[in-house]
A and B are shown apart, each in its own frame.
Chain A
Amino acid sequence: MGASHEDHHHTPDPHGRALRLGIGGPVGSGKTALTAALCRALGQSLRLAVVTNDIYTTEDADFLRRAGVLDPERIAAVQTGCCPHTAIRDDIAANLDAVETLEERFGPLDLVIVESGGDNLTATFSRGLADRQIFVLDVSGGDKVPRKGGPGVTTADLLVINKTDLAPMVGADLTVMSRDAAAVREGRPVLFTSVRQEPEAHAVAEWVTGVVEAWAHEHRHAHPHAHAHAHAHAHAHDADSPESSAHDTGSPEPGHGRDRTPV
């Protein structure tokens, strides 16, 4: 279950399609909030769609739609029948179907985010579903969590430790978390955030932008639209998008849409 960058060849036909980014992590760690933050930060520079995996009802999808960070039509909800980890790892059919339906409807896209249902430390995305994955922890689970490891913590392409603003209140030592995470992750990146305090999660958005650009560069030959420069998409996007007005004043720099008012 390696989540290494080298292991893409299991993903069928990656050419000419969007990067598929999985966001996983325990219940309440901030996966939906991070997804919303990425939509705020990147919605102007990248052509985006989101698949949520709800445990109950369509809570997460509804939250994102209400947050107004993305055209509601570009958010699809998958229900997982008590098994959120199954839907992202063992039986990815419903998620793949949702991703491809979004790509057919709104494509070409640059990035499709698949947010998993809240799960445990062993949950990771199949490489058949996600090209890259972020695992989200929060400090309120205790500063020992990174040390405990588990495939999500150790192998995700990016580990995000959220709710740093709560660290003093729960007695979590961020230095310990950083040191332990580095020890188990063998050099893979770790970012600390507080999405509540920083609703566009700039550092994570920048990491995602870099990954999307690298992906597009790697697979550009097969698809004329999947080129590396995300900021050029603001124009191409306007022609065929019903919410094009939201993109007319888009920030030219990916990951730096800070002056855009979140709605």
Chain B
Amino acid sequence: MSAPSLNAALLLLADSRLPAGGHGHSGGAEAAIAAGTVRDLPTLAAFLRGRLATSGLVSACLAAAACALSAPAAGSGTASAPAGDDAGERGMPSPAARGRAAAGVAGGLLGGWTELDAEADARTASPAQREASRVQGRLLLRTARRIWPSPVLDGLAEAVPEGAHHPIALGAAAGAAGCAPEEAALAAAYTSVTGPATAAVRLLGLDPVAVHRLLADLAPDLERTASTATAAVTPGLEQTVSTVIAPGLERAATAPSAHTADSPPPSPAPTASAWAELPAHSAPALDLLAERHLRAGLRLFVS
């Protein structure tokens, strides 16, 4: 069995030309430049490495989790077998495929989104960053719902009406587009550094080729981040399946006529969040920069 090939939809999702509002955000780069922390290529490289190791990794985890929750039910009204088959074709082990299929019910119908979104909130200390993340998530979801229409994406928008955090929207969109969790994680890691890098090109007039060389140097780190994130998601996914999905599926099996998308069965409250153990690396300097940026008198980027 060969390794899964890259899903071309991932390129669309990671492309800075995706019309989802990303161009208005600098990922803290504008504030870092205003503070003098980022002023040339070496300082930008350090900034990008720090961002990838902290918020980049956390974003990758959240995106992988959201993708795992959303992928199977995408494009269909139910979490049905074909989605599992699709996962199998992509080289996923069959228990994981079943877990994804079941978890899709959780994400789409049983309220798994609010739990995951709360985990993202808990990992985002700065209110300014929370707002920036939610705005970008809302815009991405708006765009993704038109590009890859899916009841799962509709469910996410409904579950978090103020706007899901960006990595969650990204992961869900990746799932709806048929990407695997590791691909979603890679996209999240990638956008966590390309946004600030592009902003630095615009704000500092840096040589764009030199900045892209920096990004190319980060490529192995992006892949490691995606692998780490995907592995970190597995326990939470299993717990979601065992505590939320299995009972839900049993209920659905015993009372099929009562099960409709309009009136989902109530979710049993889990005792602990399935995602509590996801990495929670923080970057206090980024938090402070985000807060300072919000109060800056003159700024070009939203965040």
Contact = CB atoms under 8 A, between A and B. Distances in A.
Interface string B1-18: 000000000000000011
Interface stretch (B84-92, B266-274, B294-302): B294-302
A56 B301 contact: no
A81 B298 contact: no
A70 interface: no
A91 B17 CA distance: 7
A27 to B, nearest CB: 14
A145 interface: no
A87 B299 contact: no
A93 B21 contact: yes
B168 interface: no
A140 interface: no
Nearest to A87: B24
Given A81-B25, A90-B17, A96 B300 contact: no
A253 interface: no
Q: How large is the interface on B (under 10, 10 to 19, 20 to 34, 35 or more residues)?
A: 20 to 34
Contacts of B299: 56-57, 79
Given A55-B300, A81-B199, A91 B23 contact: yes
Contacts of B300: 55-56, 79-82
Q: Which of B140, B299, B300 has the most CB of A within 10 A?
A: B300
A80 B24 contact: yes
A82 B21 contact: no
A20 to B, nearest CB: 16
A93 B139 contact: yes
Interface in A123-161: none
Interface in B106-143: 135, 138-140, 142-143
A178 interface: no
B203 interface: yes
Contacts of B18: 91
A215 B182 CA distance: 47
Contact of A82 (B138, B139, B143, B202): B202
A256 B199 CA distance: 46
A56 B138 CA distance: 23
A80 B302 CA distance: 7
Nearest to A91: B19
A222 interface: no
Interface string A81-98: 111001100111110110
A208 interface: no
B20 A82 contact: no
Given A81-B199, A82-B202, A91-B19, A57 B24 contact: no
A86 to B, nearest CB: 5
Contact of A97 (B22, B138, B298): B138
Contact of B139 (A55, A86, A90, A94): A94
B22 A91 contact: yes
Q: Which of B139, B143, B297 has the most CB of A within 10 A?
A: B139
A59 B300 CA distance: 12
Nearest to A58: B299
Contacts of A56: 298-300
B32 to A, nearest CB: 15
Given A79-B302, A82-B202, A93 B25 contact: no
A17 B139 CA distance: 20
Given A56-B299, A56-B300, A90-B17, A83 B139 contact: no
11 contacts: A12-B146, A56-B300, A78-B24, A79-B301, A80-B24, A80-B300, A81-B24, A81-B302, A83-B23, A93-B19, A97-B21
Given A82-B203, A91-B19, 14 more contacts: A56-B299, A79-B301, A79-B302, A80-B23, A81-B25, A82-B199, A86-B23, A90-B19, A91-B18, A93-B19, A94-B21, A94-B139, A97-B21, A97-B135
